[in-house]
Amino acid sequence: MDPVEQQLKIIRRGTVQIILESELKEKIRGSLATSRPLRIKYGADPSAPDIHLGHTVPLRKLREFQELGHVVVFIIGDFTALVGDPSGRPGARRRLSRAEVEENARTYQEQVFKILNREKTEVVYNSSWLSSLQFPDIIELTSKYTVARMLERDDFSQRYQSGRPISILEFLYPLMQGYDSVIVKADVELGGTDQTFNLLVAREIQKGYGQTPQAILTLPLLEGTDGVRKMSKSLGNYIGINEPPRDIFGKIMSISDDLMWRYFDLLSGLSPDEIEEAKRVCGSGTNPIIWKKKLAFEIAERFSSTREAEAAANHFEQVHQKGGIPSDLAEVELADSRVVNGKISSRTLAALLRKAGMVKSGSEAWRKLSEGAVRLNGIKVHCRRPSSPGSESWFDLKIEGNNILSLGKRKFARIIIREENRFERDGGRSV
């Protein structure tokens, strides 16, 4: 097969659209002829500290480009994050503080190299050039695109027609993203389908600065665990690549059977032919859970290790399929003075949830208790925050026994009751 076609065959897999494929073909041909690797741009605004599986769809495509001999220019949009990408938003995105952006950006580099080849990646921050632009530079940049073209964008058009405000600041976002392409001299840029408008703007901006426009690859958006909306931390339907392997495994096992095949297509290392064969076998009567376990193991192993993925699989089987309790339970201590006539109060339960690390705040603890998501020794606990001491709820506790506190299907802790004086002497904190 022609070397150019060999590369295109790999690049096409999982791609929604290539703009323009004829241009990309010529770029690859030129790269092979001159031994100059193409510069593949990908930008990510650090609007949240964690990278989730949805982000890995373009990251894995970038890794494919690297394996074909090209260089990835990974732009951390620490400056554009201060503005906020309005793509797909019914209103302006909340602007982040400089401190939030810096903290989020710090974790991005650590996480992307779980997928990308560090030796073939240039990591740059767009504040290094955008923050130094003078007003004449901004005037020059804004002259490269028209308001009429900007209003062709669906979300801007809808907001304009409905009378909802659009700030000039939001118009600047796609121009800044396009200017990034000029600075890094991008040959190709990747992005989700929701980024198509911004990617096309970048082509025009490059032309305006006398550069050959970049080719564009748009990639599908991965649905979250709810199977409906795009995976997003703000929507709570995400699977973070830095989460514990057992959480990654458990969340993948919770998705629907139909969504499982979507995840196979976008996340698995299996070839399209292998996935089609798996679908055929599954359709002939094989229990889908067998394939879901294979997927969950593959993803958990990718972001941890074989040993940890095996432990996650064993944990899932023990806890969720056999209804057991994990053997490696975390322990949380409780002073015996908090136990009254073999019972503990709802306030103590809320404090235990926090101390065990099951929730991040007291308000979250009370929310979980009111939802009935907490169990004590397998019995559902359902209560609300007491309005007064007299309205406190109390729950049975084994004074001498194996007391297990659980939240949902994946969080467990063993309650250890200790004498008050020993508890305090050992540095314990009464709950």
pLDDT digits (tens, 9 = 90+) for 383-411: 888 877 777 888 877 766 678 888 877 78
For residue 225, is it within any domain?
Answer: no
Within 8 A by CB and 6+ apart from 47, the residues are 81, 84, 85, 93, 96, 104
- Domain ranges, residue 394: 330-425
What is the predicted pLDDT for the residue at 84? 60
Identify whether residues 294 and 183 lie together within a single domain.
no
At which of 318, 353, 370 does a domain end? 318
For residue 237, is it within any domain?
Answer: no
For residue 378, is it within any domain?
Answer: yes
What is the predicted pLDDT for the residue at 423? 46
Within 8 A by CB and 6+ apart from 24, the residues are 8, 11, 18, 188, 215, 217
CA–CA dist 309, 300 (Å, integer) = 5
What is the predicted pLDDT for the residue at 259? 92
Burial 193-211 (b: 16+ CB within 10 A, else e): eebbbbbbbbbbbbebeee
Identify whether residues 286 and 166 lie together within a single domain.
no
What is the predicted pLDDT for the residue at 90? 46
Identify whether residues 183 and 68 lie together within a single domain.
yes
What is the predicted pLDDT for the residue at 44? 85
Give how many domains the chain has, as a whole number: 3
For residue 228, is it within any domain?
Answer: no
Distances in Å between the Cα of 279 and the Cα atoms of 15, 197, 262, 290 are: 21, 35, 11, 12
Taking 70 as the pLDDT cut, the residues of the chain under it are: 48, 84-96, 320-329, 399-401, 420-431
Identify whether residues 211 and 275 lie together within a single domain.
no
Angle, CA of 381, 232 and 56, to the nearest 5°: 120
For residue 69, is it within any domain?
Answer: yes
What is the predicted pLDDT for the residue at 91? 45
For residue 355, is it within any domain?
Answer: yes
CA–CA dist 83, 95 (Å, integer) = 6
For residue 360, is it within any domain?
Answer: yes
Identify whether residues 271 and 346 lie together within a single domain.
no
Identify whether residues 311 and 339 lie together within a single domain.
no
Identify whether residues 280 and 385 lie together within a single domain.
no
CA–CA dist 40, 120 (Å, integer) = 11
CA–CA dist 148, 239 (Å, integer) = 39
Q: Are 28 and 22 in contact (CB under 8 A)?
A: no
What is the predicted pLDDT for the residue at 400? 64
Identify whether residues 278 and 388 lie together within a single domain.
no
At which of 290, 318, 346 does a domain end? 318
Instruction: Please give the structure tokens belonging to residue 93.
Output: 């995105």
CA–CA dist 417, 350 (Å, integer) = 16
CA–CA dist 283, 14 (Å, integer) = 23
Identify whether residues 51 and 173 lie together within a single domain.
yes
Q: How is 214-239 classified by DSSP, letter by letter?
A: PEEEEEPPPB-TTSSSBP-TTTT---
CATH number of the domain bearing residue 343: 3.10.290.10
Q: pLDDT (tens digit, 9 = 90+) per residue, 335-368?
A: 888 888 888 888 888 898 888 888 888 888 888 9
Torsion 45-48-49-53 (CA) sign:
negative
Identify whether residues 36 and 67 lie together within a single domain.
yes
The number of beta carbons lying within 10 Å of the beta carbon of residue 350 is 24
CA–CA dist 227, 217 (Å, integer) = 24
For residue 376, is it within any domain?
Answer: yes
CATH number of the domain bearing residue 25: 3.40.50.620
Identify whether residues 30 and 161 lie together within a single domain.
yes
Instruction: Please give the structure tokens belonging to residue 369.
Output: 């208790």
Type of residue numbered 110 = E
Identify whether residues 137 and 208 lie together within a single domain.
yes
At which of 270, 294, 318 does a domain end? 318
What is the predicted pLDDT for the residue at 190? 96
CA–CA dist 412, 401 (Å, integer) = 16
State how beta strands 39-44 and 71-76 pair.
parallel
